[in-house]
Amino acid sequence: MSKNATYLETKGHYQILDGLRGVASLFVVAFHILETYSGDRFHQIINHGYLAVDFFFLLSGFVVAYAYDDRWGKMTQWDFYKRRLVRLQPMVIMGSIIGAVFFYTQGCAMFPLINQTPVWKMLLIMLIGCTLIPIRPSLDIRGWQEMHPLNGPAWSLFFEYVANILYALVIRRFSKTLLAIFVFLSACLLIHFTVMGPQGDVIGGWTVDKPQLYIGFTRLLYPFFAGMLLCRLGKLIHIKGAFTVCSILIAAILCVPRIGGPDHLWMNGIYESVCIIILFPLIVAIGAGGTLKSQSSIRVCKFIGDLSYPLYITHYPLIYFHIAWVQNNKVPMAPGLFAGLGIFVASIAIAYACLKLYDEPVREWLKKRVLIKK
């Protein structure tokens, strides 16, 4: 078998970074389950769980630079896009399908449009969701004005695709100095929004309107391209027990309660800016510079790393269902958390089944059909 320029052997993984992606994904699921009982943004139980998305962006930027920066002489832009689509798109499709399967079980006061939505319209939104094309609020079928109402977290994949396109078109050509300037300006944008903006946090990005798109790009630009810069600089940190240290840091960052309250929004904005601009790159530098000594640690990092993307992109339809069940039955927090634990386990089981029965086989098939020419 001769290989065309599209196919390049996959580089070795940073095992600890894979594991940290898995840790953050587990926190995202727990955050969304507990969010059902915690009211507004000032009283979340895992209060800063949403920052996991910003951590994912930084990880993605680092990994994309590592995987492709030195390969542009061997591939075209279209080759790059095909590789990214083969990696990400199958689970985007599965997330949209799972969202459609659960959709009519989620009707409640919080989702007022579900019971008014005909099947044909839901199926249309499912097909659009499979392409990751965002929909405008006028096509909403839930009532939350999400760009992907069957599977809310797909909004971050939309911005991930945007970042990949920006990288392939322009930013891959940046020198380290020019990239550092771009990252600095993106950090200024992030600080301005979090510290001086109307929210004091980075929550948002999932609606196709001007304010939410502004939030989405603000969340994307610094972490993704800072991860890229970090990889190019190669300034990694080597310490013992890197995976444990980084996992504890991630848990601490995401679990810190809201700072400052509604009267001092800037205080929480400073905290989130420090986390995204300083602490997340520090964690990635430690994770990329660390090594795993024991076979058990290697297996754990591989398992949760492989699971992380399917878990993130398929769990939210179960969260919608959980929210509706709690609202419709007026379930208090204590007994509801037992059901929440079931949602947590079911989310992992569904993600693992999708990984082994669908994602890995489909990607292998696509690699042979799309990335390798006989």
User: Cα separation of 283 and 24, whole Å?
Assistant: 12
Q: Is the pLDDT of residue 4 over 50?
A: no
How does residue 374 score in pLDDT terms, banded at 50, 70 and 90? Answer: low
User: Cα separation of 285 and 117, whole Å?
Assistant: 47
* Average of per-residue pLDDT across 213-217: 98
pLDDT at 9: 66
User: Cα separation of 236 and 241, whole Å?
Assistant: 15
Tracing tokens 């069957």 back to the chain, one arrives at 150
pLDDT at 38: 84
Alpha carbon separation from 210 to 6, 150, 205 (Å, rounded) = 37, 22, 10
User: Cα separation of 285 and 66, whole Å?
Assistant: 13
User: Cα separation of 257 and 159, whole Å?
Assistant: 27
User: Cα separation of 218 and 276, whole Å?
Assistant: 11
Give the SS3 label for residue 111: strand
pLDDT at 11: 67
How does residue 371 score in pLDDT terms, banded at 50, 70 and 90? Answer: confident
Query: Tens of pLDDT along 156-170?
Result: 999 999 999 999 999
Query: Tens of pLDDT along 306-325?
Result: 999 999 999 999 999 999 99
Q: What is the dihedral of CA 6, 9, 14, 18, to 10 degrees?
A: 70
**Mean pLDDT estimate for the chain:** 94
In this structure, the number of other CB atoms found within 10 A of the CB of residue 342 comes to: 13
What's the sign of the alpha-carbon dihedral 185, 190, 192, 197?
A: positive
With a threshold of 0.75, does the pTM exceed it?
Answer: yes
How does residue 43 score in pLDDT terms, banded at 50, 70 and 90? Answer: confident
